[in-house]
Structure 1
């Protein structure tokens, strides 16, 4: 962004906004949120931004695709408050989450190898099973989440004829684990239910192939976006050195 000759080298909110197709109010909101450092004011109260503010806005907008709005905003606030180490920690946490998501995807792919249904056996029809509490604890979720999944068709536990309690057979536990992993991958309940229904009815794993390919692509896009964000953040940090 070049110098604004009409303002003696200072940049106006509109100068920052135009570069990114934003409104001037959005730029002011970012400053008020601490995403941009405080701007000087003219004697008439108008904001006067600098090249550093422009770099801060570029950094924030570049960080959002890879880290999300909340983390990107927290990173920028930390930098603007002089807490660079906290900003680096937040970035590291995002990278750690991306690595964990990659491990989750790998776990899903591993789980799919065991998704072939047992012939002649419907989910939950086995002689034994587990109850909702132990299954929820094993997955690290609340029992209410399993009940929500049941209403959405992700799991189909049978009911004990005496107690009325839900009993999750081996296939139900398998479906619950897969649902949990796919939810962590960002898939909505409706799509997971459709995938599981297709697997049950078709007797194969092909319906999940496209979902896993898409998941791989989204993780790769996040990783690339993190690199872009890191470069923009480094450029902004250099303006503060």
Structure 2
């Protein structure tokens, strides 16, 4: 018995989407091309329904763009691109987790390290740039963005960076490495200045760690949906989850 053809609205209802969104996903290559009825209506199948489930499951962990690229690669049967995209996303997530750990360590160093007696009252822009491994022009850009507030010599106009501004620069450097935009960093540094300590940064780091944990969990859960779609699309192809289980067993 031939399975009943599914309409765009049938796929949409499962996820609270509009029928037009489902059609758009097909037009974007996220869903494989549908057959058309004699009157021109799209006729979807269980394969399309599983493709949509896989895409929506992938999106929270991988983001819309990568999730769409994953489905396009799956629809082409391009395993090389598919697995490369998965590996790249996991590598980027690991890199962000490493940066978070580095920021956490840097915070501990900033709060725990004693200030040496011979430490200069202020650093020059060149000295601070060297300490951070940056170009002085980047520090001037951060100043324009409101992130840094160096002292200016009233006669020469030269910038001087006292310890609290040096702290802000180190914090900004680590947050920038973590992918935070300048506007978000400026808001955070303002909170740090107002608080007078690093409590605000600890809150940001805790929020960051929760976000990474959620992404990791979403990527893990989405793998099962993607594997189901690959198997639904090509029933003769063994499920990767099943193959791995059998091999370990």
TM bucket, shorter chain: 0.7 to 0.9
Residue by residue over 1:173-226, the C-alpha shift from the partner in whole angstroms, topping out at 9 and shown as x without a partner, is 542332132245455545533443444454432222222211111111000000
The answer on whether the counterparts of 1:11 and 1:48 sit within 8 Å (CA) in structure 2 is yes
User: Residues 128 and 59 of structure 1: is their aligned pair in 2 closer, same or farther, counting only changes over 3 Å?
Assistant: same
Structure 1 contact 130–169 (Cα < 8 Å) conserved = no
Is residue 102 of structure 1 aligned with residue 97 of structure 2?
A: yes
- Note if 1:68 corresponds to 2:63: yes
Q: CA deviation at 1:61?
A: 0.6
CA distance in 2, matches of 1:127, 1:166: 8
Change (3 A) 1:161 1:87: farther
Match of 2:32 among 18, 33, 37: 37
Question: Which among 71, 87, 103 is matched to residue 82 of structure 2?
Answer: 87
Provide the C-alpha distance between the structure 1 equivalents of 2:124 and 2:141, rounded to a whole number of angstroms: 23
Where do 5+ consecutive residues of structure 1 fail to align? none
Q: What is aligned with 1:240?
A: 233
Inter-CA distance 127–179: structure 2 relative to 1 (3 Å threshold): closer
1:133 to partner: Cα distance: 7.4
Q: Tell me which moved more, 7-16 or 37-46.
A: 7-16
Of 126, 130, 139, 1:130 maps to 126
Q: Distance in 2 between matches of 1:53 and 1:214?
A: 36
1:135–1:173 contact (8 Å) kept in structure 2: no
The answer to whether structure 1 residue 213 and structure 2 residue 206 are counterparts is: yes
How many angstroms apart in 2 are the aligned matches of 1:86 and 1:168?
A: 48
- d(CA) in 2 for partners of 1:81 and 1:131? 54
The Cα shift of 1:35 comes to 0.4
- Larger CA deviation: 146-155 vs 157-166: 157-166
1:71 counterpart SS class: helix
TM-score by length of 1: 0.80
Q: Distance in 1 between matches of 2:183 and 2:125?
A: 26
Task: Give me the whole-angstrom Cα distance separating, in 2, the residues matched to 1:128 and 1:226.
Answer: 45
Distance (whole Å) between structure 1 residues aligned to residue 220 and residue 233 of structure 2: 20
Does structure 2 conserve the Cα–Cα contact (< 8 Å) formed by 1:66 and 1:223? yes
Name whichever of 174-183 and 191-200 sits farther off.
Answer: 191-200
**3-state SS in 1 of match to 2:109:** coil
Does the 8 Å CA contact 1:104/1:181 hold for their aligned counterparts? yes
Give structure 2 stretches of 5+ with no counterpart: 235-249
- Mapped to 2, the partners of 1:223 and 1:77 lie a distance apart of 22
Output the aligned Cα RMSD.
3.3
CA distance in structure 2 between the partners assigned to 1:43 and 1:108 by the alignment: 61
TM-score by length of structure 2 reads 0.78
The answer to whether the 8 A contact 1:125-1:158 is kept is no
